[in-house]
Structure 1
Amino acid sequence: MAAAGVLENARRPGFRETLGRMSAAQKPGRGAPPYSRWINRRMGRVIAAAAFTVGATPNAVTGVSALFTASAIAIIALVSPVWWLGLLVAALLVLGYAFDAADGQLARVRGGGSRAGEWLDHMVDVTKTCLLHIAVLVSLARFGGAPGEAFLLVPLGYLTVSVVLFFGMMLVDQLRRSVAESVAAQPRSGSGLLQTLVALPTDYGIVCLAFVLFGWRDAFLVAYTLLFAAHTLVLLAVLAKWWRELRALDARSAAARKA
């Protein structure tokens, strides 16, 4: 984003000016899950504009995101559930996610991110995904509430599905980039609204909001299990989609080499 990079080299604008320029220069939201697309990115934009105004770095914003999320995860694992606990956990997770959306936007408004910063962001993302479900498992083992021992497999399954989906997205993105120069990208049309709605169960923001119910054990476990089941179905569907897409890219690459 070359135009945005001028902000870093010229007079540092105020919050409102920065926010206005960022709002006019957002990356496409096509296909992103609904909470992430329509709520979290907007929250992140406000945080990024404020961070730019005070001269904060993207890595510092990533650190704040990790601090909020780690605090929520520690509370889940260490504190016996009561009615108000879910409100606190959900608030911390939502704030952590908003700062997670802000670091990339801040990097772009400063003229572009770095490989080290992108690596740090992804490492924090996958770590929080793992630890969040581990914390749920620890809470159930320590404080009870599960309908039986077999239910402890649900957090383990949710952890597995989440990590496989995260790794798959990262790998597919890298494979797409590896052929971007030699094979023309297929044009995408529309707003991706259907894809956005289908991706709802995989939306980390929805998972964050589900923790509002954490103090009401039965309600939380129902919501958590439903999200896990839906997340699994989406993963199975997207694995098939990625396989077909990569096979098509292989065919186009082979045709380009023969031409």
Structure 2
Amino acid sequence: MTAPSGTGTASAPHPQGHRPPQGFGEALARLASVQKSNKGAPAYSRFVNRKLGRVLAALSYVAGLTPNQVTAISATFTFTGIALIALVDPAPWLGAAVCLALVIGYAFDAADGQLARLRGGGSRSGEYLDHMVDSAKISSLHLAVLVSWYRFGDLDGAAPLLIPLGFTVVAAVMFFGMILKDLLARAHRAATGAPPPAPAPASTLRSLLVIPTDYGMLCVAFLLIGFPSVFVPLYGLFFAGNLLFLPAASVKWFREVGSLDAA
């Protein structure tokens, strides 16, 4: 599963000589010039979530919120959706509520990092908070599915319960690998003075091919949680996509980290 799109978030002053944006429109326009690279981003995260996050970041800026407060809002929506999955018997209305909560939470997750960049940069404590929230939600989301299927699901035996169990492991390992790879690369650049790599062009085809690993699309899939005959196999397909992606991504990341040793 692709990691959520927020990044380090604690507040920082505007760079010296740069006038703070005035109002929502100027803040939104300024955000367009401080976007992260779209390389490797899945389709929903790239074409939908980051744009939603940009609007929410501009609104948060006008409202005087700090990036850490935006992270807290994201966590509130996300964990409300996760609690609903675990505690409420699946029904069509529940799918709409869970999907809305997770989608809004993910959009605010994209907003905290954008707000930090708009305010002049993030901080280590903000990045720590953001990643701790991300790691908690990535695992607890699938454990909530496990609880829901165990409590309410009319499943053919216990074997389907292995799907959310496996998804929990795969999602946690993938998130940790992604974060660790980036952390090691940043530490290497700090130690050697090497410049960050130039942004590579983003491939629309790749964004579409990695949709099974897209956390945003998984959030949307929960719209169908009230229809188990559809949701269970769909959730299984997401798990299969992530299970196949993880070994290939791990090899690629290992080689990237190995190139730092060679350098």
Provide the TM-score with structure 1 as the length reference.
Answer: 0.90
In the alignment, which residue of structure 2 is the partner of 1:239? 250
| 1:249 has 2:245 as partner | no
User: Which residue, out of 74, 85, 98, partners 2:94?
Assistant: 85
> Is the 1:65–1:97 Cα contact (8 Å) retained in structure 2?
yes
CA RMSD of aligned residues (A): 2.0
| 1:204 has 2:215 as partner | yes
- Mapped to 1, the partners of 2:111 and 2:163 lie a distance apart of 31
- Mapped to 1, the partners of 2:14 and 2:195 lie a distance apart of 28
Match runs of 1:185-200 below 5 Å = 189-200=200-211
Q: Secondary structure of 1:116's partner?
A: helix
Bigger relative contact order (CA 8 A; separation at least 6): 2
- Per the TM alignment, residue 179 of structure 1 is displaced from its structure 2 partner at its CA by 2.1
- Mapped to 2, the partners of 1:190 and 1:9 lie a distance apart of 28
| 1:38 has 2:47 as partner | yes
> Is the 1:74–1:135 Cα contact (8 Å) retained in structure 2?
yes
Match runs of 1:16-55 below 5 Å = 16-55=25-64
> Is the 1:97–1:205 Cα contact (8 Å) retained in structure 2?
yes
| 1:111 has 2:120 as partner | yes
Q: Secondary structure of 1:179's partner?
A: helix
Q: Which runs of 5+ in 1 are unaligned?
A: 254-259
Cα deviation code 1:52-110 (max 9, x no counterpart): 00101111111111110111111111111112210110011000000000000111111
User: Which residue, out of 214, 218, 236, partners 1:225?
Assistant: 236
- Per the TM alignment, residue 11 of structure 1 is displaced from its structure 2 partner at its CA by 6.0
The worse-fitting range, judged by mean Cα deviation, of 148-157 and 179-188 is 179-188
Percent of residue pairs bearing the same amino acid type: 50
Amino acid at match of 1:67: T
Amino acid at match of 1:83: P
- Mapped to 2, the partners of 1:95 and 1:142 lie a distance apart of 27
> Is the 1:136–1:155 Cα contact (8 Å) retained in structure 2?
yes
In the alignment, which residue of structure 2 is the partner of 1:180? 189
> Is the 2:81–2:101 Cα contact (8 Å) retained in structure 1?
yes
- Per the TM alignment, residue 125 of structure 1 is displaced from its structure 2 partner at its CA by 0.5
- Mapped to 2, the partners of 1:8 and 1:92 lie a distance apart of 39
Provide the TM-score with structure 2 as the length reference.
Answer: 0.89
- Mapped to 2, the partners of 1:109 and 1:226 lie a distance apart of 38
Cα deviation code 1:210-243 (max 9, x no counterpart): 1011000110001100000001111111011112
- Per the TM alignment, residue 186 of structure 1 is displaced from its structure 2 partner at its CA by 5.8
Relative distance call for 1:173 and 1:132 in structure 2 (3 A) is: same
- Mapped to 1, the partners of 2:198 and 2:42 lie a distance apart of 20
Counting matched residue pairs gives 249
Higher helix proportion: 1
